[in-house]
Chain A
């Protein structure tokens, strides 16, 4: 599903070169629930941007679903993000002043699929248990609810991988637990999930933990996924 081979990423900040990734080798199979852990500055955000096709590696290969991402142009990357990847952000990142339903519909609008858009969006909201909040604006929803709308938006295009960047970072512990249970549920349904976090409590929901340090994979361990 996801294959990273000797991936490096070098930023240039003024005259200084920052080696954010120094050669990452990583394979994630379909259906896995992987937590990528690391302290700030470890390169995990850069890794997440690369996996999410928001950025391209400086060297090395990244195959997503068999597609070499390095060779794609801007529009093709946008299409990949649209169809293959579902983003869940720390700060929810819903479009303000748009209803939950409209937010969930957004990826389908950009995909250009008009047929059954409403039904698919309502189904996605149903899957996260928010069908009755479809008409609500983000400001009318709690943090946990907003994050669930974001998850519905990520799911609606039926992506190859769900990419969550500190999804519980802005939530209280109760809502965090709720969201993590939702991820665990999605995992059981066969979704591939990549979770970026620095909290061990959150990482224990995953079936595999990859620790990143100084732009390299430090450890890669399988674990029993947290059962409810």
Chain B
């Protein structure tokens, strides 16, 4: 008996019990659909995070202060301000760090912003003129402040679109307006274009940038000239840039042993790797939960196949009497169970992919699910495999039946 005949027999057997076949298939359908949908949600979250990290700026390195050692005592993260404006200047020295395109300091704090009777609390960033280039911002209205503004410590501000919307509620032109940041008057000279939501929450449009010198002088009360972090735009060779940044800062801080560094240099890849690790775990978790329902579906197939074999004992006896060999019977029932699970798997793929397309419309907060081809192939393969695995026992039982007893079965 060839495969085509076996397939025909299997389909006949399944069509004869339509409702039962459909319900059994439903188990696998839900399992496969759930795997595909949940893995797509996980992938979607992963892709969204990666996209936001990309949006931080290409070839970005971020230098944070880290534990400093003072007199043999190791302080915790951020226990000391170890980065200085001199560090930034050293990094912008082309001969010491040829792979660094630009480095900017960030000195950020929360600030209360007032215009007329409107209030807004936002992130106020003291920085230098290279900020838009390094952080991938574009200024839509007006212009960013210049190097001269930074040197002179002018009280000018470039605001994000969210800030503009919340302060200028009556549609005033923000340019040239004076706003109060922590009770200090600053003049708005530019508004950023929208960049959208940031990685791990937060809104990249909700910020104000001012010259770092003005921030030191007016916003932190002139008490310290802190640099919370340094953003570095690297050239095409990020690894070389990272090494150069590390070396320059070690020299600046007079530290000979890199293990003792009081700062850390993080590339975008580092951040992306950490993030994808987290979202990868999420995807695996979701997939594992869905896989359980697939196994339950497989047990459902085994259950139904056992019932079918018992019900059709007499038929098996007839087939053996007219010349069916063991493997003919085995093949018939195996193909039947694999057909059930395979078809259920195919429908499950449709349901899963359809659900992934529909889900964002129902739950808008969710990142768009991404249906990956490997997950589809895997889910289909696994569903057919489940049919094979859970079909072997019932099929073997059918094939091993004694024809005389099977014929006598009522």
| Residues of chain A having any CB pair with chain B under 8 Å | 49, 52, 54-55, 74-75, 78-79, 81-83, 87, 89, 93-98, 106-107, 109-112, 114, 153, 157
Contact = CB atoms under 8 A, between A and B. Distances in A.
Contacts of B321: 52, 54, 81, 87, 89, 93
Contact of A93 (B1, B2, B407): B407
Contacts of B135: none
A116 B278 CA distance: 64
A111 B323 contact: yes
A79 B320 CA distance: 10
B325 A75 contact: yes
Interface of B: 1-2, 5, 12, 16, 314-315, 317-326, 328, 403-404, 407
A83 B322 CA distance: 9
Contact of B315 (A79, A96, A107): A96
A49 B314 CA distance: 16
A112 B2 CA distance: 7
B404 A54 contact: yes
Contact of A110 (B314, B328, B407): B328
A49 B321 CA distance: 10
B318 A110 contact: no
Query: What DSSP secondary structure best describes chain B's contact surface?
Result: helix
Given A110-B1, A110-B328, 4 more contacts: A54-B404, A54-B407, A75-B325, A87-B321
Nearest to A93: B318
B16 A97 contact: yes
A84 to B, nearest CB: 10
A74 B404 contact: no
B403 A82 contact: no
A176 to B, nearest CB: 21
Contacts, number: 64
Contacts of B317: 93
A172 B88 CA distance: 108
B322 A55 contact: no
A28 B322 CA distance: 22
A74 B315 contact: no
A198 B33 CA distance: 60
B323 A75 contact: no
A107 B318 contact: no
B12 A97 contact: yes
Contacts of B2: 112, 114
A107 B322 contact: yes
Contact of B404 (A49, A94, A153): A49
A78 B326 CA distance: 9
B323 A82 contact: yes
A112 B1 contact: yes
A75 B326 contact: yes
Given A109-B1, A112-B2, A83 B325 contact: no
A74 B322 contact: no
Contacts of A97: 12, 16
Contacts of A114: 2
Contacts of A49: 404
A110 B16 contact: no
A65 to B, nearest CB: 15
Nearest to A81: B323
Nearest to A109: B5
A109 to B, nearest CB: 5
B323 A78 contact: yes
Nearest to A156: B322
8 contacts: A49-B404, A78-B326, A79-B323, A95-B319, A106-B319, A107-B323, A109-B5, A157-B323
Contacts of B12: 97-98
Most chain A C-beta atoms within 10 Å of own C-beta, residue among B1, B323, B404: B323
Most chain B C-beta atoms within 10 Å of own C-beta, residue among A49, A54, A157: A54
Contact of A74 (B5, B16, B319, B326): B326
Most chain B C-beta atoms within 10 Å of own C-beta, residue among A75, A107, A109: A109
Contacts of A93: 314, 317-318, 321, 407
B307 to A, nearest CB: 16
B17 to A, nearest CB: 9
Contacts of B314: 93
A89 B407 contact: yes
Contacts of B404: 49, 54-55
Closest 8 CB pairs of A and B: A82-B323, A110-B323, A78-B325, A97-B16, A93-B318, A107-B322, A81-B323, A75-B325
B369 to A, nearest CB: 42
B333 to A, nearest CB: 14
Contacts of B16: 96-97
B325 A87 contact: no
B396 to A, nearest CB: 14
Nearest to B13: A97
A153 B5 CA distance: 18
A17 B12 CA distance: 42
B18 to A, nearest CB: 11
A117 to B, nearest CB: 10
